[in-house]
Structure 1
Amino acid sequence: MRCNVQLIHSEVQAMNLQQLLVVIDPQQTPQPALDRAVWLARKTRAQLHLLLVEYNAALEAGHLFDTAMQSRGRAALIERGTAWLEELAAPLRAEGLEVHLDVRWGRPLHKLVLEKVAELAPDLVLKSTVHDSLLRRLLLTNSCWQLIRHCPIPLWLVHHAEWQGHSLCAALDPLHSADKPAALDHQLIRAASELSGQLGMRAHYLHSYSPLPRTLMFDAQLVANYDDYVARCAAQHREAFEQLIGHYPIATPDTHLIEGFAEEVLPRFVREQHVDLLLMGAIARGHLDTALIGHTAERILENLDCDLLVLKPEQA
């Protein structure tokens, strides 16, 4: 077992933040993704690559304008977008940060972002989520979900809540109940540990589990011995969690084994511990290539009040 774990560790790449790709939202004046990327760049001296995707359906073929006018209209939008990015970049360059700009035309947004990822091979993609003044939850657009499904590198989805940058948390699944490969838990632990060191953030490591409720027990003997079943379930998860964590120099106060449904435990833990960044693993499975962050992804994210960092298995 020890040899296998060491092999997994050797395959895991560090979160070496040298190039950050920032998706700029043309519909918003505040740019939380850029703010977060600048914070990261100041900590790590990473390069910033700002990507702005412009599009207007009226300038597509088959509409009211002829081809020449469509071309001029697109060029004008791209020129305007470039000027705006230059304004955003100027103060950052003045403080010594390296900033590169790219304005592209097209849709859907996630496709243009993935094309840029393939060309640049950045270490991290940052994108803002939807802001709703009445809700503090993490609201994901279709482009966010598409990037969760298909982005091959770590994806940082930026919440609009106030950023403190004090702590992060890796959500682990040592029994792989969501069909995640075992290496993904090690990848999450390594990423959390390395980001903690680079960014000066306290790292938490959490695993939640939930025994089958008594009302759903399908066997009379299990019903009669329900308390014993719950105890055995807790022991099984504790053993797996401790075995996983035991391969790393992690302090016990930073580890959390909590009984409860993940969609309730994770948002509550984030609020109570003032977590700024939650790390989760995503896998693609099934003929629809749907990415899952566990089987309760949407219910978790509906109530999440922090940034989200999504990691994919490295072999994916």
Structure 2
Amino acid sequence: MEKYKKILTVIDPTTEDQKALERSIELATKTNATITAFLSIYDFSYEMTTMLSSDEREVMRNSVIKDKEVWLNEKIASVAQHDIKIDSKVIWHNRPFEPIIDQVLNEGYDIVIKGTHEHDKLKSVIFTPTDWHILRKCPCPVLLVKSHSWPKNGNILAAVNVGSDEDEHISLNNKIAEEALNLGNLIQANVHLVNSYPGTPVNIAIEIPEFNANEYNESMLNHHKAAMTTLAKKFNIALENTHIGEGLPEDIIQDKALSLDAELVVLGTIGRTGLSAALIGNTAEHVIDGLNCDVLALKPEGYQSPLQN
């Protein structure tokens, strides 16, 4: 089944450089997809102007929307390619992520593509609240775009969790590998698998003198190697393209993405609630922040967005 036939591209009104739109066109040329360039705008000052009646506020809102529609259509015209259909949609909403996810739920988009904000190392968090909400709550794949190009014969890194025997993780690993291979075929890139595993817990090594840390580490590594080999064979991925490292996922994934000069990292975000979601969410955030390439975030099969009725 061909994927990515219907792309929702989130436009950033604060920048001239629309990386997400350019990437969407690049993908659409390979999949014959249609694109909707989507802009959610809101100006608090208009809503708070008590001098105006509700009708007058409506007129002002519509005037701002019309201006943005003109701006957006000019943007599209400047980058559009004649064989790709690009629609535009501008919506007034005070929580930008909600209409984005509503569009996905109501219109059946296959992927959301959004640019991330450039940042320097002093500002460690690139996430806007909108990015965070979309990653957590969007049921379809989300591609966060940075400035890295997609050269032919480049590398895609699929970040999996082969240490877990939970059905949810196994199913998500399969989905991550499948999506990475699908994109690898589309953009003619090599697919690699990466997995991290935790080292010996320091407190155990200290509190239990007879605990053999080397033995523990070796058995962990062997367990992950065996599981990684099984996954690689299932998807016909060469064993030399599998990578296992001891440490935090964000460190291992970032190091491997840099050493491969990957153009894309594919990872899973599990939308649980509570502590588990916080841990998984933070890992995704740290991973994405440390990468200079695009990130494709996937949900498990059967995921239901909290915005679904």
- TM-score normalized by the length of structure 2: 0.88
After TM superposition, give the deviation of residue 94 of structure 1 in Å: 4.9
After TM superposition, give the deviation of residue 97 of structure 1 in Å: 0.9
After TM superposition, give the deviation of residue 90 of structure 1 in Å: 2.3
Asked if 1:117 corresponds to 2:104, the answer is yes
Residue pair 1:148, 1:291 contacting (<8 A) in 2 also = no
Give the distance between the partners of 2:19 and 2:159, measured in 1 at CA. Answer: 24
Supply the AA of the counterpart residue of 2:7. Answer: L
Supply the AA of the counterpart residue of 2:193. Answer: Y
Match of residue 55, structure 1, among 38, 42, 48: 42
Task: Indicate the residue corresponding to 2:306 in structure 1.
Answer: none
1:197–1:267 Cα change, 3 Å: same
Asked if 1:23 corresponds to 2:4, the answer is no
Task: Indicate the residue corresponding to 1:220 in structure 2.
Answer: 209
Match of residue 146, structure 1, among 129, 133, 154: 133
Supply the AA of the counterpart residue of 1:98. Answer: K
**Aligned pairs, number:** 300
Give the distance between the partners of 2:157 and 2:116, measured in 1 at CA. Answer: 19
Give the distance between the partners of 2:71 and 2:175, measured in 1 at CA. Answer: 37
Where in structure 2 are the equivalents of 1:118-137 lying within 5 Å?
Answer: 118-132=105-119
Residue pair 1:137, 1:304 contacting (<8 A) in 2 also = no
1:214–1:147 Cα change, 3 Å: same
Residue pair 2:200, 2:213 contacting (<8 A) in 1 also = no
Task: Indicate the residue corresponding to 1:32 in structure 2.
Answer: 19
Partner SS state of residue 101, structure 1: strand
Give the distance between the partners of 2:75 and 2:276, measured in 1 at CA. Answer: 36
Task: Indicate the residue corresponding to 1:168 in structure 2.
Answer: 156
> What whole-Å deviation, never above 9, does each CA across 1:124-170 have from its counterpart, x for those lacking one?
001111122567977111111101110000001112x3323432110
Task: Indicate the residue corresponding to 2:225 in structure 1.
Answer: 238
Give the distance between the partners of 1:315 and 1:36, measured in 2 at CA. Answer: 27
Give the distance between the partners of 1:79 and 1:291, measured in 2 at CA. Answer: 40
Partner SS state of residue 204, structure 1: strand
1:294–1:210 Cα change, 3 Å: farther
Give the distance between the partners of 2:20 and 2:278, measured in 1 at CA. Answer: 22
Give the distance between the partners of 2:83 and 2:167, measured in 1 at CA. Answer: 45
> What whole-Å deviation, never above 9, does each CA across 1:95-142 have from its counterpart, x for those lacking one?
221111111111200011111111211110011111225679771111
Unaligned runs of 5+ in 2: 304-309
Give the distance between the partners of 1:200 and 1:293, measured in 2 at CA. Answer: 30
Q: Which moved more, 1:66-75 or 1:147-156?
A: 66-75
Residue pair 1:137, 1:305 contacting (<8 A) in 2 also = no
Give the distance between the partners of 1:211 and 1:78, measured in 2 at CA. Answer: 54
After TM superposition, give the deviation of residue 78 of structure 1 in Å: 0.9
Give the distance between the partners of 2:7 and 2:15, measured in 1 at CA. Answer: 20
After TM superposition, give the deviation of residue 214 of structure 1 in Å: 4.9
Asked if 1:181 corresponds to 2:181, the answer is no
Where in structure 2 are the equivalents of 1:197-208 lying within 5 Å?
Answer: 197-208=185-196
Task: Indicate the residue corresponding to 2:307 in structure 1.
Answer: none
Residue pair 2:232, 2:238 contacting (<8 A) in 1 also = no
Unaligned runs of 5+ in 1: 1-13
- TM-score normalized by the length of structure 1: 0.87
Residue pair 1:58, 1:64 contacting (<8 A) in 2 also = no
After TM superposition, give the deviation of residue 38 of structure 1 in Å: 1.2
Paired-residue identity, %: 27
Supply the AA of the counterpart residue of 1:210. Answer: P
Give the distance between the partners of 1:287 and 1:85, measured in 2 at CA. Answer: 39
Asked if 1:258 corresponds to 2:245, the answer is yes
Give the distance between the partners of 2:46 and 2:35, measured in 1 at CA. Answer: 30
Please, what is the CA RMSD of the aligned residues? 2.4
Residue pair 1:284, 1:291 contacting (<8 A) in 2 also = no
Residue pair 1:59, 1:70 contacting (<8 A) in 2 also = yes
Asked if 1:229 corresponds to 2:203, the answer is no
